[in-house]
Amino acid sequence: MNDVAPPFESFGVSHKGCVREHNEDNYLVEPQAGLWVVADGMGGHEAGEVASASIVEHLATIGIASSAPDLRARFEDRLSRANAEIRRISQSRGITIGSTVAALLAMDGRFACLWAGDSRVYLIRNGSISQISKDHTEVQELLDRGMISAAEALAWPRRNVITHAVGVSDEIVIDFQQGEIMPGDIFLLSTDGLTAHVTDAEIEAAAVSATAQEACENLLEMVLARGGTDNVTIVLVKAGAGRNGRQHPDLSRAEG
């Protein structure tokens, strides 16, 4: 697969941070399958870890797809199985547990980013970083309605309340963006433990100046040095042999 797509260099890291006792994040790096995932569990008492692990374990069985539509179908099938499993666990424990998910799928020179919750996907192209995903949070909805300002959002008391997640209902609400992969593109997937401490500009600077592994490790060190108030997971994917997000100056950004 991926015969006409550029080769990928990718790496992932995860850490419980400086405050939390447990790491409820999980991630998956499967370049041969064209799949990269981060998941941020919620539910407390280690239940969140169960939810995010279920997502990763099911997606790890995705195998090698025959086409881009097949890859998307396989992804949705595994995510649906994880959702059902998390629902069963929730019912057996009498609590609500769930997990965000942010995923990158790549095949035949195309990509698709899919997400539920506030874990994010960024694209660095032509020396510019853009957030492909859009947070499923109460504060984002208020921003979209013009009810609060961006400055108010930073200190909003319920800014971490998410509106969609895997495992919290029988139906999964997933958003997606898709587009063409260009040599030199850099994708970064992360849980909110990264963006709580590191700016978009700092993410871009770290990603373009080092290998995927070095960039992940440098960003993690930055988070921990700044207090690491949450679990943090980072997955970085570099496409082709381009110049670290600076190739093809005439190309458009990701399409919806």
What is the Cα 97 distance to its own chain's centre?
A: 19
- pLDDT number for residue 253: 29
State residue 235 phi and psi, 5-degree precision. Answer: -125, 125
Q: Which of helix, strand or coil describes residue 53?
A: helix
- Please give the average pLDDT of every successive group of 10 residues along the chain, which has 256 residues: 63 97 96 97 82 98 96 98 96 92 96 96 96 84 72 69 89 94 96 95 97 98 97 96 41 30
- pLDDT number for residue 32: 94
Dihedral of alpha carbons 70, 104, 213, 129, sign: positive
